[in-house]
């Protein structure tokens, strides 16, 4: 029962992490314009994401523009896109595989060993999915930080971490932790010992010696 609860907890955490990765990928707030230094605070808030750039007016109106051409994008941005999409697809596969191996499901009940392996395999896929998202968000965040501290970067073009990065870091950590719980939810095999054989008791001596 304890392993079943750990398995369910791991699946819920991995599923929530997968949902967070989808949200992070779709959000345009991967980096936001910084008003540090001598930059004058304007009436606009500028955001850039993986798919579009947005400008929010002081009135609350948001205008977004989708990137025109894929080939004009930086190679690092294209790689970040690919990693996040791969993470989402891997999470989808891991979810179906893990559901098949869940103890609360009726499928594959006749073979508990294969059912257990399916749950572990689903956990491994979730871990790989979380690692892909973690690499993508960390790589993107490193580029933002390096550009921010670069003295040759104009002050009015500096960006800071956006909320999508923080959501991506938290979501990838949840996916990795949930996948680890799925991998650790298998019960340990108990060592079975052969039954002890009883030794025949010595017959009671009759008190007579035979030659």
Within 119-196, strands assigned E span 159-161
The pLDDT tens digits for 45-64 are 888 999 998 888 777 788 88
Q: What is the pTM of this model?
A: 0.79
Separation between Cα atoms, residue 158 and residue 205, nearest integer Å: 102
Of residues 192 and 181, more confidence is placed in 181
**Which of 88-97, 114-123, 157-166 comes out lowest in average pLDDT?**
114-123
For the domain made up of 2-26+74-182, the CATH class stated in words is mainly alpha
Q: What are phi and psi of 88, to 5 degrees?
A: -65, -45
Looking at residue 16, its pLDDT comes to 96
Question: 50 exposed, middle or buried (CB, 10 Å; 0-12, 13-18, 19+)?
Answer: buried
- Segment 74-102, tens digit of pLDDT: 888 999 999 999 999 999 999 999 888 77
Return the pLDDT at 190.
46
Bridge partners (DSSP) listed for residue 66: 52
Q: Which residue has the higher pLDDT, 129 or 189?
A: 129
């Amino acid at each position: 029962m304890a392993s079943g609860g750990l398995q369910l907890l791991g699946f819920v955490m991995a599923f929530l992490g997968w949902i967070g990765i989808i949200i992070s990928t779709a959000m345009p707030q991967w980096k936001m314009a910084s008003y540090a230094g001598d930059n004058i605070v304007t009436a606009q808030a500028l955001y850039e994401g993986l798919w579009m750039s947005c400008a929010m007016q002081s009135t609350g109106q948001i205008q977004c523009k989708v990137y025109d051409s894929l080939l004009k994008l930086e190679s690092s941005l294209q790689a970040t896109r690919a990693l996040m999409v791969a993470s989402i697809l891997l999470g989808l596969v891991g979810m179906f595989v893990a559901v098949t191996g869940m103890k609360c499901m009726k499928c594959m009940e006749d073979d508990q060993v294969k059912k257990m392996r399916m749950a572990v395999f689903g956990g491994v896929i979730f871990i790989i999915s979380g690692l892909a998202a973690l690499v993508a968000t960390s790589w993107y965040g490193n580029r933002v930080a390096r550009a921010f501290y670069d003295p040759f970067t104009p002050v009015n073009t500096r960006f800071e971490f956006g909320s999508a990065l923080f959501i991506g870091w938290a979501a990838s950590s949840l996916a990795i932790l949930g996948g680890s719980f799925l991998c650790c939810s298998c019960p340990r095999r108990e060592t079975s010992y052969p039954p002890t054989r009883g030794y025949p008791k010595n017959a009671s001596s009759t008190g007579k010696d035979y030659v």
